[in-house]
Amino acid sequence: MKRVLLKLSGEALAGDKKMGFDEATVTQVARQVKVLADEGLEIGVVIGGGNFWRGRSSETIDRTKADQIGMLATVMNCIYVSEIFRSVGMKTAILTPFVCGAFTDLFSKDKANECFSQGKVVFFAGGTGHPYFSTDTTTALRAVEIDAEMILLAKAVDGVYDSDPKVNPEAKKYDSVHIQEVIDRKLAVMDLTASIMCMENRMPMLVFGLNEENSIIRAARQEVLGTKVLVD
């Protein structure tokens, strides 16, 4: 593969603390990504904002405003993780769909391709720039826009199950599953909007557990890991 889109959950980056950042966890992610970047893989990154704010964190705040807070949470996450990536020797860029002063650059496909050609890991922060769209949808949208070959979906669980493994100890894990089944059965991979976008644009995914040893490296190399979400 030449180019992938890596989705990281904000909660996963918080480690056992559940909120904020766990630097050891983020550094471990950075070292894995550096191995892949040094091999010539072009890597885009989307990070959720759940370690700071979730869209339903408050019932008293208007949904649009709540989602805007979430977008800013993803910008903070990307600035932090970008700096950890730099500390282990990578070049990075942060692109947002809205102006953030000197903190980020404005997203366009041309700008993203320019950054990739310069050997940078590119962070796509700020969601889509609009309310009512999750970072799952951002992941699918950016993956399609930048012509990624696959989405690497790093989660707290180690793949896709036929039911919630936290609730059902008999839940069955899929080695592979078609995106149509994901949509029909509402399996917890991405939200419905993102899943439909991946289906319509034939964007495959690999869902895996972030906490497994060298999981990002193994996922990018397509070793046996997690669950492949098929689109063919």
Is 5 known as a binding-site position? no
Is 162 known as a binding-site position? no
Closest CA to 121 of 57, 44, 15: 44
Is 163 known as a binding-site position? no
Is 7 known as a binding-site position? yes
Is 104 known as a binding-site position? no
Q: Token pair for residue 58?
A: 């408050």
Is 126 known as a binding-site position? no
Alpha-carbon span 111 to 73, nearest angstrom: 23
Is 49 known as a binding-site position? yes
SS3 content of the chain, % helix, strand, coil (to 5): 40, 20, 40
Is 147 known as a binding-site position? no
Is 86 known as a binding-site position? no
32 close to 214: Cβ distance less than 8 angstroms:
yes
Is 128 known as a binding-site position? yes
Is 129 known as a binding-site position? yes
Is 134 known as a binding-site position? yes
CA atoms 200, 204, 209, 211: torsion sign: negative
Tell me which DSSP letter residue 197 carries: H
Is 80 known as a binding-site position? no
Is 17 known as a binding-site position? no
206-221 burial code (b ≥16 CB/10 A, e <16): bbbbbeeeebbbbbbe
What are the residues whose beta carbons fall under 8 Å from the beta carbon of 228, sequence distance 6 or more? 175, 176, 177, 204, 205, 206
Question: Which residues are annotated as part of the binding site for ATP?
Answer: 7-10, 50, 54, 161, 164
Q: Which residues make up each annotated binding site for UMP?
A: 49, 67, 128-135
Residues at the annotated binding site? 7-10, 49-50, 54, 67, 128-135, 161, 164
